[in-house]
Amino acid sequence: MSKGDGMNFAPQVKTKGAVVKKGEFVFAAAYLDHGHIFGMVNGLTEAGGVCKYVYDSDPQKVENFIKEYPDVKAVNDFEIILQDPEIKMVAAAGVPNTRGATGVKVMEHGKDYFVDKTPFTAMSQLDEAKCVSAKTGKKYMVYYSERLHSESAVYAGQLIADGVIGNVVQVMGMGPHRLNAPSRPEWFFNKEQYGGILCDIGSHQCEQFLHFADAKDAKVLSSKVGNYANPKYPELEDFGDATLVADNGATQYFRVDWLTPTALPTWGDGRTFILGTKGYIELRKYLNITSDDTRSDNVYLCNENDYFHINVQGKVGCPYFGDLILDVLNRTENAMTQAHAFKAAELCLQAQEMAVKIC
């Protein structure tokens, strides 16, 4: 796990343990263009899943994957995965503008799909995935890792569900990332391929808003993007923000950027602030800057009865992956509803489409 490079940040968080016996849930990994595939596979295998195959057209990517998961068999044709009846789900992290088409193909072959964020770069891709998911009954699930693979975010969700801060009024999210341009592939700087900053890392923020505010729908009020520090890459947006309002009246402001300074010991000082009618929560997800305590997953809470700071690293786990496996096997929606996954994707696409370019 690399704390310095967000593209290769692959959390290894212990879940509540295996939810299935070995061999009951078999999946495959494919299209390894983003390092998040390792976090996805880690989560599924820690919950008892078995990764049977890996596919990518780049032998080096496959070799790197096999080093991490030596029991996985490399295949030279994606069709082998699609035609194997034992494979229940395909996990993929391809170039963003190809993810929708891959998911459609996977679902049409009778398998569920688990894809890295952002799941789409155009509304037409979302519309097609919705249609095929409804027609086939297959899942199009998304790795919104900044909530699903963060113990502090999981704990905050539990506190909110318990009513500790009352009804959520506003969610503020800050998602800074380190650019580390020399390590990035060409597609990262091509807007048609990566979709734009609000479509890409903004997708995390939209998903968290819906979850923490317990909202089914929301509207983008305004958004803007810019390139402040990277004229060498004219299609890159290194800053973006947006304001949203949910169907229950809760609001959101989020800011995302590629401006993390080099001195910071992690790839980004991700923060979330959640205001409720009876208190508030702050999450310092990846570090507690200037503190001697270098652990991630710091939660700060103040309500009508108390205030405290608690570190939850290694204490809460990330139940999403086990719940997802059971959802696939039982055709339930406990990990995340399909409507929620699609709505978060829709909101980030809308924010990107209507964004004012400021520089």
pLDDT at residue 14 above 50? yes
pLDDT tens-digit profile of 204-213? 999 999 999 9
Cis peptide bond N-terminal to 118, omega within 30: yes
| Residue 250 belongs to a domain | yes
Domains of the chain: total: 2
How much of the chain is in helix, strand and coil states, percent to nearest 5?
35, 25, 40
Its sign, for the CA torsion 303, 309, 315, 316, is: positive
pLDDT at 9: 42
Q: Which tens digits make up the pLDDT trace of 48-85?
A: 999 999 999 999 999 999 999 999 999 999 999 999 99
The answer to whether 147 and 211 have CB atoms below 8 angstroms apart is yes
The answer to whether residue 305 sits within a structural domain is yes
**CA-to-CA distance for 297 and 299, rounded, in angstroms?**
6
- Assess whether 324 and 312 both reside in one domain: no
The closest of 34, 139, 125, 167 to 349, measured between CA atoms, is: 125
Are residues 136 and 165 part of one domain? no
Range of the domain at 170: 147-318+349-357
Query: Is the pLDDT confidence value at 166 over 70?
Result: yes
- Which CATH number fits the domain that encloses residue 154? 3.30.360.10
Q: Is residue 340 part of a domain?
A: no
Q: Could you tell me the two tokens for 48?
A: 């008892």
> CA-to-CA distance for 218 and 60, rounded, in angstroms?
42
Name the least confident of 7-16, 71-80, 142-151, 332-341.
7-16
- The number of C-alpha atoms within 13 Å of 356 and in the hemisphere containing its C-beta is 7
Same domain, 30 and 170: no
Based on the fold, state whether residues 83 and 178 are members of the same structural domain: no
At 293, the pLDDT band (50, 70, 90 cuts) reads confident
Q: Is the pLDDT of residue 105 over 70?
A: yes
Please tell me the predicted confidence (pLDDT) of residue 15: 54
Q: What is the domain-level CATH number for residue 16?
A: 3.40.50.720
Residue 344 counted as domain residue: no
Do both 215 and 236 map to the same domain? yes
Rounded Cα distance between 341 and 134, Å, is 14
Residue 342: inside a domain: no
What are 336's two structure tokens? 């995340």
Average pLDDT over residues 290-306: 91
Quick one: average pLDDT of 286-307?
A: 92
